[in-house]
C-alpha cells in the first residue's frame, strides 16, 4: 500500500464530493461532534481536510483550522473555503515540527488507503504531550437495511484483509504501539438518511467507494457491476430506504 493511494480518485470526484456525501448537514454534524472535544483557544490541524467542508464548519464555530491533503482537486475547494491555511501534504509525512501540535482531527481519512501505521507514527511525532488526535471513522456503524447488506458484502469482498477498517479495534493497538493512549469513543450521534437501491447503484458507478482495496482494476469493476445488479434486483428499487447509522469520535492522546 502506498501512502498516496486513492488520491487520483479524489481528484476525479472532487467537484461532486460534498453533495454526494451529505453536504453541509454531514459537515455541520461532524463539527458539532468535534467541537466539545477541542480547545477553541488552540489551532486545529485537519489531516485529510479534503474540500474543507468540515474544517469550514469548525471555523464557523470559532476554531482556527489548518488543513493538509494530498489531492489537489479536493484542496482547490478547501482553498476557497479556508484560504491560505491549506497545503498539499501526505498524512504519512507531515510537514510539521515535532511536538508542535495540540490538537489534530481526521474525518473519513483512514479508510481511504493511507498506511495506518505511518499516519500514527506521524501523529505521535507531531503531537505535543497532552495533545489529542480526534478521528471520525467512515465505518461508524453499518446500516442493517437491505442496501446495507448488499453494500457491506461488496466492502468485505473488496477489502478481504480489512485494511480499510478504521474503527477502534483496528486503530487502538496501532496508536498504542506508538505511545498514544486511546481514550475511547465520544460524541456518538445517531444519523439516518434516505436512499433508494437505484440511487445507490448509480453512486457506486460514480465512485462512491474510493480507497485502497486489495481487489482493484477489472476485479473491482466486476464486483461493483455485480453489486449494482443485486441492488437493482431488490424489491421496489426506486423506493428510498431509511438508513440508520451512528457516527462517533475516537479520542487518541499523547501522554
Ligand X SMILES: C[S@@+](CC[C@H](N)C(=O)[O-])C[C@H]1O[C@@H](n2cnc3c(N)ncnc32)[C@H](O)[C@@H]1O
Decide: 77 and 18 in contact? Cβ < 8 Å. yes
Measure CA 105 to chain center.
10
Binding mask 2-21 for ligand X (x = CB under 6 A): -xx-xx--x-----------
Does 148 help bind ligand X (rule: CB under 6 A)? Answer: no
Residue 255 Cβ, how far from ligand X at the closest point, in Å? Answer: 26
Nearest position to ligand X, beta carbon: 50
For residue 182, report the phi and psi dihedrals to the nearest 5 degrees.
Answer: -85, 115
Measure CA 55 to chain center.
13
Which of 59, 102, 113, 151 is in the footprint of ligand X by CB under 6 A?
Answer: 113
C-alpha cell read off for 116: 495506518
C-alpha cell read off for 217: 482494476
Question: Of residues 38-77, which lie at the interface with ligand X (CB under 6 A)?
Answer: 48-50, 53-54, 69-71, 74
Q: Closer CB to ligand X, residue 31 or residue 234?
A: 31
Longest dimension (CA), the chain: 55
Residue 224's Cβ-count burial label (10 Å; 0-12, 13-18, 19+) is: middle
**Contact range with ligand X by CB under 6 A, out of 85-93, 194-202, 222-230, 242-250:** 85-93
Residue 141's Cβ-count burial label (10 Å; 0-12, 13-18, 19+) is: middle
Radius of gyration of the chain (CA): 18
Q: Closer CB to ligand X, residue 3 or residue 237?
A: 3
Residue 90 Cβ, how far from ligand X at the closest point, in Å? Answer: 4
Measured distance CA(197)–CA(212) in Å, rounded: 24
Measured distance CA(50)–CA(68) in Å, rounded: 8
Residue 15 Cβ, how far from ligand X at the closest point, in Å? Answer: 13
Q: Closer CB to ligand X, residue 3 or residue 196?
A: 3
Q: Closer CB to ligand X, residue 6 or residue 197?
A: 6
Q: Closer CB to ligand X, residue 35 or residue 181?
A: 35
Decide: 139 and 111 in contact? Cβ < 8 Å. yes
Strand, helix or coil for residue 250: strand
Q: Closer CB to ligand X, residue 74 or residue 124?
A: 74
**Contact range with ligand X by CB under 6 A, out of 108-116, 145-153, 155-163, 226-234:** 108-116
Question: Of residues 179-208, which lie at the interface with ligand X (CB under 6 A)?
Answer: none
Residues that bind ligand X (CB under 6 A): 3-4, 6-7, 10, 48-50, 53-54, 69-71, 74, 90-92, 107-109, 112-114
Amino acid at each position: 500500500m502506498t501512502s498516496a493511494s486513492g488520491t487520483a480518485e479524489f481528484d476525479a470526484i472532487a467537484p461532486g464530493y460534498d453533495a454526494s456525501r451529505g453536504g453541509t448537514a454531514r459537515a455541520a454534524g461532524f463539527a458539532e461532534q468535534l467541537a466539545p472535544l477541542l480547545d477553541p483557544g488552540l489551532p486545529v490541524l485537519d489531516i485529510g481536510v479534503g474540500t474543507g467542508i468540515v474544517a469550514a464548519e469548525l471555523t464557523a464555530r470559532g476554531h482556527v483550522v489548518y488543513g493538509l491533503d494530498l489531492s489537489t482537486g479536493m484542496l482547490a475547494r478547501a482553498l476557497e473555503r479556508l484560504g491560505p491555511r491549506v497545503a498539499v501534504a501526505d498524512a504519512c509525512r507531515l510537514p510539521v515540527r515535532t511536538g508542535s501540535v495540540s490538537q489534530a482531527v481526521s474525518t473519513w481519512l483512514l479508510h481511504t488507503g493511507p498506511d495506518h501505521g505511518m499516519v500514527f507514527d506521524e501523529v505521535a511525532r507531531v503531537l505535543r504531550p497532552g495533545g489529542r488526535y480526534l478521528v471520525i471513522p467512515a465505518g461508524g456503524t453499518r446500516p442493517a437495511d437491505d442496501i446495507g447488506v448488499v453494500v457491506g458484502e461488496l466492502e468485505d469482498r473488496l477489502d478481504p484483509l480489512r485494511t480499510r477498517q478504521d474503527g477502534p479495534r483496528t486503530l487502538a493497538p496501532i496508536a498504542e504501539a506508538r505511545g498514544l493512549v486511546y481514550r475511547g469513543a465520544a460524541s456518538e450521534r445517531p444519523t439516518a438518511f434516505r436512499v433508494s437501491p437505484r440511487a445507490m447503484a448509480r453512486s457506486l458507478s460514480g465512485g462512491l467507494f474510493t480507497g485502497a482495496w486489495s481487489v482493484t482494476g477489472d476485479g473491482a469493476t466486476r464486483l461493483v457491476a455485480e453489486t449494482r445488479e443485486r441492488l437493482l434486483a431488490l424489491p421496489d428499487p426506486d423506493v428510498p430506504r431509511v438508513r440508520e447509522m451512528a457516527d462517533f469520535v475516537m479520542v487518541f492522546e499523547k501522554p
